[in-house]
Structure 1
Amino acid sequence: MSQSEPSSSAPASDAHLREDTLTSEAVYRGHFLELRRDRVALPDGREATREYVVHPGAVMIVAILPDGRLVMERQFRYPVRQTMIEFPAGKLDAGEGGLACAQRELLEETGYRAGRWAKAGVMHPVIGYATEVIEVWFADDLSLGERHLDEGEFLDVFTATQQELEDWMRDGQLTDAKTVVGMMWLLQWRAGRWPLQWQTV
C-alpha cells in the first residue's frame, strides 16, 4: 500500500486521529499522582489500552537578576538518581492559579520575590504517558529574602549566566527538559523575537 505525500500544513480537522475513551479505571492513587488505565476506540474501529499518569500541573520560573544572571537550583531527582540543574519549579496546589503558584514556589525554594512577572507559554513535557502541563513564567525586579522549603525538600540555589547554561546544555550537564525549554524562551526573548507581556505585582 502506497503512502500519500506529507501535507505542507495542518489539516482542518483531527477527527481521523482521535481516540475515544470506552472505559477508565484508576490503577493507583498516590500523594499527588494517579495512574489510570483506559480502554479506547481507535480511529479504525479497533480497541487498545492506554496507561497514563494524571498530574495536577506545574509552573517553572525563569528568574532574572539585575545583572542578567539567572536563579538556578540543583536538586537530586530520585527517579533518574541524579542531581539535576533546573530553573525553579513546582506543582500547582488544588485551585491555585499559575501566577500564584509561580510566586509561591519562587519564594519557598529560593527566597526571591519578583516585582514583575510575564507568562511566556505552556509546555507538555511527557505527552506519551502523562497529563502534565507546565506554565513557563519569567520574573525580574528580584529581591532576596528567606526561603521556606517543604519538609523533606533539599536543594541548592545558585546563579548562572546564560552562556554557562548554554555550555552545560551542549556538554550534557543540563538535560532537564523544562529547563531546556525555558532556555529556548529566554534566548528568543533576548534576541527580540518573542516579546513578553510584563505585569507588575
Structure 2
Amino acid sequence: MDREGRGDSTGTADDDLAWELLGSTIDYSCPGFDVRRDDVRLPDGTETDYHYVDEPPAVVVLPFVARDGGREELVVIEEWRQAVGRVSHGLPAGTTEPDDDDLAEAARRELAEETGYEADSVEPLLSSEPINGVANAVHHYFVARGCTPTGEQDLDFNESIRVSTTPYDDLFARALGGELRDGRTLLGLFAYAQHHE
C-alpha cells in the first residue's frame, strides 16, 4: 500500500525520482474530497509544495443482467455532472466508506444504492489510478453477474441518476464511436473486452 493505504507502492521513497515528504495538510475540504497540500523536497534539493485532490477509493461496477437468448445487457446510469455541465452516460460507481474492508461488498452496496439492482456474484476486474498527476484517486472495478432489480434507489442528496439497461455490444460500440465520454466507463468496458475476448 502507498502512504494513504490506497494502492501499489511501486516507485517507493528509495527511488532516485522520489520526492521527500516534509509535511502534509488539508487546505480545503468539501463533501466527497479534500484538497491536500504536501510540503516536499525534490530530488535536486528544492523545497516546494504540491496540491492535489485527496479522495477515498472508489468502486466501479459492470453489472450484467441475463436476458433470453443469452444476450448480455448492462445496467447503466445517466447522471448529471456539474463539472462538465451535462448528463454523463456510464457505469454505476461510488466512493468507499472508511470502514469498507471488503471492496466487493462496497461494490454491491453502491450498485444497490445507485440502481436498485442486486448481484448474484461480484468479481474483481482491475484497479487504476485515473488521474494520478492531480488526484490520489484509486478506482477498483468489479464485474457483477445475475443482477436483478430488488429495490428502490438510495441516492445521496447531490445525485441525480436515471437507470436503464442496454446491450453490452451496443454500449461498447458507443464507446468505440466516441459517444461515451466518462473515463471510468471507457476503461471498464475496454478492460472487460480485453479480459473476455
| TM-score, length basis structure 1 | 0.83
Give the Cα–Cα distance (whole angstroms) in 1 for the partners of residues 190 and 156 of structure 2: 32
Give secondary structure in 1 for the equivalent of 2:15: coil
Partner of 1:190: 196
Q: Tell me by how many angstroms 1:159 deviates.
A: 1.5
Q: Tell me by how many angstroms 1:43 deviates.
A: 1.3
Partner of 1:161: 167
| Equivalent pair of 2:122/2:143 in contact (CA under 8 Å) | yes
Partner of 2:32: 32
Identity of aligned residues (%): 28
Q: Tell me by how many angstroms 1:138 deviates.
A: 0.5
Which of 127, 134, 142 is 2:132 aligned to? 127
Structure 1 residue ranges without an equivalent (≥5):
1-9, 192-201
Structure 1 residues 69 and 14: alpha-carbon distance in aligned structure 2, compared to 1, 3 A threshold: farther
Partner of 1:143: 148
Q: Tell me by how many angstroms 1:142 deviates.
A: 1.8
Deviates more, 1:21-30 or 1:98-107: 21-30
Partner of 1:87: 91
CA deviations 1:72-122 (Å, max 9, x no partner) are 110011111111011111110111131121111111111111111111121
Give the Cα–Cα distance (whole angstroms) in 2 for the partners of residues 151 and 184 of structure 1: 29
Give secondary structure in 1 for the equivalent of 2:16: coil
Aligned length: 182
Give the Cα–Cα distance (whole angstroms) in 1 for the partners of residues 20 and 134 of structure 2: 16
Runs of 4+ in 1 over 3 A off after TM superposition: none
Give the Cα–Cα distance (whole angstroms) in 2 for the partners of residues 185 and 119 of structure 1: 11
Q: Tell me by how many angstroms 1:47 deviates.
A: 2.3
For 2:133, the aligned partner's letter is G
**How do 1:166-185 and structure 2 match up within 5 A?**
166-185=172-191
Give the Cα–Cα distance (whole angstroms) in 1 for the partners of residues 16 and 58 of structure 2: 31
Structure 2 residue ranges without an equivalent (≥5):
1-9
**How do 1:107-118 and structure 2 match up within 5 A?**
107-118=112-123
- Between Structure 1 and Structure 2, whose CA radius of gyration is higher? 1
Give the Cα–Cα distance (whole angstroms) in 2 for the partners of residues 112 and 190 of structure 1: 23
Give secondary structure in 1 for the equivalent of 2:72: coil
For 2:125, the aligned partner's letter is A
Partner of 2:7: none
Give the Cα–Cα distance (whole angstroms) in 1 for the partners of residues 172 and 72 of structure 2: 14
Give the Cα–Cα distance (whole angstroms) in 2 for the partners of residues 188 and 33 of structure 1: 32
Structure 1 residues 14 and 65: alpha-carbon distance in aligned structure 2, compared to 1, 3 A threshold: farther
Partner of 1:44: 44
Partner of 1:56: 56
For 1:137, the aligned partner's letter is F
